[in-house]
Structure 1
Amino acid sequence: MTDRQAETSWPRLDCPPPRRDDPALARRLDARVLEWADRIGLYHGNLEQVRAAGFGRLAALCYPGTDDEDLLMVPARCALAIWAVDDHYCDNPDLGAEPTLLGSRLATASAVLGKVGLPERHETEFAAATRDDPALQGLRSAVGHLRGITTPAQLDRARHTLRSLFAALAQEGTWRATRYRPQVWEYLVNRQANSFLPCMTVIDALGGYRLPAELWAHSQVHDAVGTAALAACIANDIYSADVEEHAADADFNLQQAIITQHGCTRQEALRMSADLHNELMHRFHRHCQQLASMGSSELRRFLDGVLDWCAGSLAWHRTAPRYHRQSHRSAPDDKDRT
């Protein structure tokens, strides 16, 4: 361990512990995710990355409203498909990532989320051109399973947030290609879309109820869910700080944006990141209190599910080898559920 790593002092994050942490359930789901990834061809046979990440455990932690393993496999597949697009297209040259192709690939990824209304001859060409891409096959398969448990409105909201995510990944790719270092506000705007919102959109579908479309579209509901999603992304940046510090594209995390703008130390940037996370979580709780006056039981369940998702995601990040260079390092403390 380097001196710099040894001196890391993790900041406290205001988030509850997960409502369910069931290792046996997580192991069963992880095994099924691994089988699915192998069948699709994700990670070109290098399934150790999938095994180590534990996307089945992520689903078990984040959706405590159901014990149905078939249901939990739906968001587990979706999460892996999203991460695979990021790895195959944006981050990992060994998996085929190529900066000059990023925008084109992400546009095609957006197209495979739904039926493309092309003339018949060109539909055939499109299908042939996208058949052998494992990232696209992962998306197709994951969205197909999602279609089986959602209403058209629920599926549409998931597709919309996925397309926004791909647009944000393209923006980050432009920054990387031009060596542009974003200001903190620019980075956070990007992270509003480059976030866990697609995972959160399926909370009601997993819970067996439906958040009415007019409530999902309500500005304050959107603010509440987006606030929580951004907080979860800041937690992601904090937990991946060591890994990304040693990566080739280390400028693209919140800590690096803060260091660039404020000229502070890495430790100060971590604490400022935690302060932003905690500010957002407090804002989310205020939104929930205000939205309670709407008297919607579905909305109350959905917002409780958002908090469960943040708690589960945080617990997953604390232990997922994907985000830790050395597994024996201590993780940040988290406050108890209130």
Structure 2
Amino acid sequence: MTADRINERLVAWADRIGLYHGRLERVRAADFGSLATLCYPSTDDLDRLTVPARCALAIWAMDDHYCDDPGLGAEPSLLGSRLATAAAVLGKVRLPDRHEGEFDDATRTDPVLVALRSAVTYLGHLTTPTQLDRTRHSLCYLFTALAQEASWRATHHRPRVWEYLVNRQANSFLPCMTVIDAIGGYHLPAHLWADPQVYDTVGIAGLASCVANDIYSVDVEDHGAGEDFNLPRALVEERRCTPKEALVLSAELHNDLMQRFHEQSDALRRRGEPELRSYLDGVRDWCAGSLAWHRSSPRYHPRTSPDRPPTTRTEHGHHT
């Protein structure tokens, strides 16, 4: 099975790099192989699908090692500095020759940085320079949102719903979605990616996927510690509703966003650009695949997890 073979490659890659040291079972259990096969159905090529799976694992590992899990080395006071260095290893930093070696020495001992650099290098073998730059930019955008969350934790700030959703525009799955065309073997031209209508439509889909992630993350986040941020929690605090009501409101928002995505996507398809039609189909498939993966991945369903979250949709009238 392709997903299982990808998972074995990821475990070997993580072991070689040093990610999740002593906890490699978490890599296999998360099943990023299924995430790749579900989200990029335009290909069944094992090598091509392993590329976004590595990228996904590197991003999730950064979240665990830097932001969430003290057992893996997460330290809030170091997050800003670590994220700035992570942005540098993506390939945009230029140093004087005598300092280049120092930078390389300092960054090759951090498994998260090694994973990010390795994943982006593999991605570069499949992409054009503009496609690769698109992904780098979205990753840096993600890093700014993670830094914002760190400031919220440091000041014990509880964001308003609008404020949280602004953060989620950046702290999103957009890096994974930027590679849809590269994995599919075609190129969405730069002028189409930069088109405000296209970017807005993709952003809506990305936000919807993040809302779904929040819904499925509720049961595994430690609300009692007061350190986690998600949409249901923000709704509970702002609207003084029950957690169950907040989940329903979150699911309704997800479905409204997906409805808006489909409407805008249909309008864009009528423009006739074949690459744009293919990419929008890929975004639709990515959202459906991500939702299916969240429903099955042990990362979001520990054995003690209570009833499943409310229903979310990816297509008009179709539940996945």
TM-score w.r.t. length of structure 2: 0.95
Query: How many Å apart are 1:293 and its aligned residue?
Result: 2.4
Whether the aligned pair in 2 keeps the contact of 1:55 and 1:76 (CA below 8 Å) is: yes
- Distance change (3 Å), C-alpha of 1:172 and 1:336: closer
Q: Is 1:285 the equivalent of 2:262?
A: yes
- What is the alpha-carbon distance in structure 1 between the residues aligned to residue 142 and residue 233 of structure 2? 21
Pairs aligned (count): 315
Larger relative contact order, structure 1 or 2 (CA cutoff 8 Å, min sep 6): 1
Q: Give the structure 1 partner of residue 151 of structure 2.
A: 174
Out of 154, 158, 173, the residue aligned to residue 196 of structure 1 is 173
Quick one: which amino acid aligns to residue 295 of structure 1? G
Whether the aligned pair in 2 keeps the contact of 1:81 and 1:142 (CA below 8 Å) is: yes
- What is the alpha-carbon distance in structure 1 between the residues aligned to residue 194 and residue 314 of structure 2? 31
Which whole-Å deviations, capped at 9, do the CAs of 1:223-273 have from their partners, x for residues lacking one?
000000000000000011111145634541111111111111000100111
Whether the aligned pair in 1 keeps the contact of 2:208 and 2:257 (CA below 8 Å) is: yes
Instruction: Report the 3-state secondary structure (helix = DSSP H, G, I; strand = E; otherwise coil) of the residue aligned with 1:326.
Output: coil
Quick one: which amino acid aligns to residue 56 of structure 1? G
- What is the alpha-carbon distance in structure 2 between the residues aligned to residue 247 and residue 57 of structure 1? 31
Query: How many Å apart are 1:49 and its aligned residue?
Result: 1.1
> Over aligned residues, Cα RMSD in angstroms?
1.5
Which whole-Å deviations, capped at 9, do the CAs of 1:98-117 have from their partners, x for residues lacking one?
01100000000000001421
- What is the alpha-carbon distance in structure 1 between the residues aligned to residue 115 and residue 295 of structure 2? 26
Q: Give the structure 2 partner of residue 308 of structure 1.
A: 285
Whether the aligned pair in 1 keeps the contact of 2:255 and 2:313 (CA below 8 Å) is: no
Whether the aligned pair in 1 keeps the contact of 2:213 and 2:294 (CA below 8 Å) is: yes
- What is the alpha-carbon distance in structure 1 between the residues aligned to residue 270 and residue 24 of structure 2? 48
Query: How many Å apart are 1:45 and its aligned residue?
Result: 3.0
Q: Is 1:187 the equivalent of 2:164?
A: yes
Q: Give the structure 2 partner of residue 259 of structure 1.
A: 236
Q: Give the structure 2 partner of residue 104 of structure 1.
A: 81
- Distance change (3 Å), C-alpha of 1:214 and 1:333: same
Q: Give the structure 1 partner of residue 98 of structure 2.
A: 121
Whether the aligned pair in 1 keeps the contact of 2:153 and 2:227 (CA below 8 Å) is: no
Q: Give the structure 2 partner of residue 230 of structure 1.
A: 207
Which whole-Å deviations, capped at 9, do the CAs of 1:73-97 have from their partners, x for residues lacking one?
0000000000011111100101111
Structure 1 runs of 4+ aligned residues shifted over 2 Å read 245-251, 325-338
- Distance change (3 Å), C-alpha of 1:247 and 1:146: farther
Q: Is 1:269 the equivalent of 2:255?
A: no
- What is the alpha-carbon distance in structure 2 between the residues aligned to residue 251 and residue 328 of structure 1? 18
TM-score w.r.t. length of structure 1: 0.90
Percent identity reads 66
Out of 156, 159, 165, the residue aligned to residue 136 of structure 2 is 159
Quick one: which amino acid aligns to residue 132 of structure 2? L
- Distance change (3 Å), C-alpha of 1:202 and 1:173: same
- What is the alpha-carbon distance in structure 1 between the residues aligned to residue 303 and residue 30 of structure 2? 14
Out of 99, 108, 111, the residue aligned to residue 134 of structure 1 is 111
- Distance change (3 Å), C-alpha of 1:101 and 1:260: same
Q: Give the structure 2 partner of residue 37 of structure 1.
A: 14
- What is the alpha-carbon distance in structure 2 between the residues aligned to residue 304 and residue 245 of structure 1? 36
- What is the alpha-carbon distance in structure 1 between the residues aligned to residue 120 and residue 179 of structure 2? 11
Quick one: which amino acid aligns to residue 163 of structure 2? E
Query: How many Å apart are 1:328 and its aligned residue?
Result: 7.1
Query: How many Å apart are 1:25 and its aligned residue?
Result: 1.6
- What is the alpha-carbon distance in structure 2 between the residues aligned to residue 162 and residue 257 of structure 1? 25
Q: Is 1:243 the equivalent of 2:220?
A: yes
- What residue ranges of structure 2 are gaps of 5+ in the alignment? none
Q: Is 1:218 the equivalent of 2:195?
A: yes
Q: Give the structure 1 partner of residue 63 of structure 2.
A: 86
- Distance change (3 Å), C-alpha of 1:233 and 1:56: same
Instruction: Report the 3-state secondary structure (helix = DSSP H, G, I; strand = E; otherwise coil) of the residue aligned with 1:67.
Output: coil
Query: How many Å apart are 1:275 and its aligned residue?
Result: 1.1
Deviates more, 1:85-94 or 1:323-332: 323-332
Out of 179, 182, 190, the residue aligned to residue 205 of structure 1 is 182
Query: How many Å apart are 1:305 and its aligned residue?
Result: 0.4
